[in-house]
Amino acid sequence: MSQTNQTLGEFIIENQSSFKYTSGELSRLINSIRLAAKVVNHDVNKAGLVDIIGAAGEVNVQGENQQKLDVYANKKFIQTLINRNIVCGIASEEEDDFIAINSQDENHQNKYVVLIDPLDGSSNIDVNVSVGTIFSIYRRVTPVGTPVTLEDFLQPGHQQVAAGYVIYGTSTMLVYTTGAGVNGFTLNPAIGTFYLSHPNMRFPEDGKIYSVNEGNYTHFPQGVKDYIKYCQMEEGDRPYTSRYIGSMVSDIHRNMIKGGIFMYPKSSKDSNGKLRLLYECNPMAFIAEQAHGKASDGFGRILDIQPTALHERAPFFCGSKNMVEKVEEFMRNSLK
């Protein structure tokens, strides 16, 4: 049985046999992400002391201004994954296209692809607010030993074999799932080791926190407007508390612990939503479902969406099960 004084490495070894693919590659992959997260954490914590704050002067494929730490974190995660010779492909929110990786062996047998948002909420770095990294792992669907193709990345979220996030805040945590529950590990900075601190994390079925950028209220669909008014209504255990950090990792992490819902709906400004399906929605949805929560596009399960593009966007509602179902009810009713 897992103990809260376990290191992440010990936990991975102990639980490796419960994963249906027991080659050990996935364990090595999680360890690589752990290593890259420690490196990025070290530099995030130096923000303000070295020249890593502010815009990098580049625009990513999303049309967004890249922050210096976006570029740095992207390079560190990609370099670490390539150098460890574990994956056959990587897709990043910061890259135009996926990266195909060939092993030094001509008959490379690597089976996993990783999709990553290297630094979620990076604009918060300038003001010393929590940011995060999100990752998603799939087994390739094309033949092992051949170069990966787009098909390996465009898999529905329910095909994920692992997903997780790192939150760089007052403490640094790595939270992940391999489909058998969600566990959180806190970094002890004195010795550079992650320890199991939050075993078997679960969303409360109900919550009293709603997280949404209400500055976009006038652009939201009517169903979302109606749900926000419902949250603000003084009745029963309402009004709920509005809490929005602007870093999805931070908002969802808080809501998983305290109970709540995170919403980033489509709007008249972003007709398909703003969050990336492959790098943000799918991994967080997988984590949410494994933590007894729910994730939806407002009408159906996020993990059942068949992606059609590497940087596809989707509306996103994620959190305590009853709260997500309530906003879905408002969405359906708004169409009548």
Is 121 known to sit in a ligand binding site?
yes
Is 329 known to sit in a ligand binding site?
no
pLDDT one-digit tens code per residue, 122-143: 777 777 788 899 999 999 999 9
pLDDT one-digit tens code per residue, 321-331: 999 999 999 99
Q: Looking at this protein, which amino acid is placed at residue 264?
A: Y
Is 119 known to sit in a ligand binding site?
yes
pLDDT one-digit tens code per residue, 220-277: 999 999 999 999 999 999 999 999 999 999 999 999 999 999 999 999 999 999 999 9
Intrachain domains 8-198 and 209-334 with the same fold: no
Contact of 116 with 134, CB cutoff 8 Å: yes
Is 43 known to sit in a ligand binding site?
no
**Domain extent listing, the chain:** 8-198, 209-334
Q: Looking at this protein, which amino acid is placed at residue 212?
A: V
Is residue 27 pLDDT above 80, yes or no?
yes
pLDDT one-digit tens code per residue, 132-186: 999 999 999 999 888 999 999 999 999 999 999 999 988 999 999 999 999 999 9
Is 312 known to sit in a ligand binding site?
no
Is 200 known to sit in a ligand binding site?
no
CATH number of 209-334: 3.40.190.80
Is 244 known to sit in a ligand binding site?
yes
CA distance 308 to 235: 43
Is 250 known to sit in a ligand binding site?
no
Is residue 281 pLDDT above 50, yes or no?
yes
**């030993």: which residue's tokens?**
145
Is 122 known to sit in a ligand binding site?
yes
Question: Is 3.30.540.10 the CATH classification of the domain at 8-198?
Answer: yes
Exposed/middle/buried for residue 55 (C-beta within 10 Å: 0-12, 13-18, 19+): middle
| Number of other residues whose CB lies within 10 A of the CB of residue 147 | 13
Is 128 known to sit in a ligand binding site?
no
Q: What is the DSSP string of 46-73?
A: TBTTBS--SEEEEE-TTS-EEEHHHHHH
Is 123 known to sit in a ligand binding site?
yes
pLDDT at 62: 58
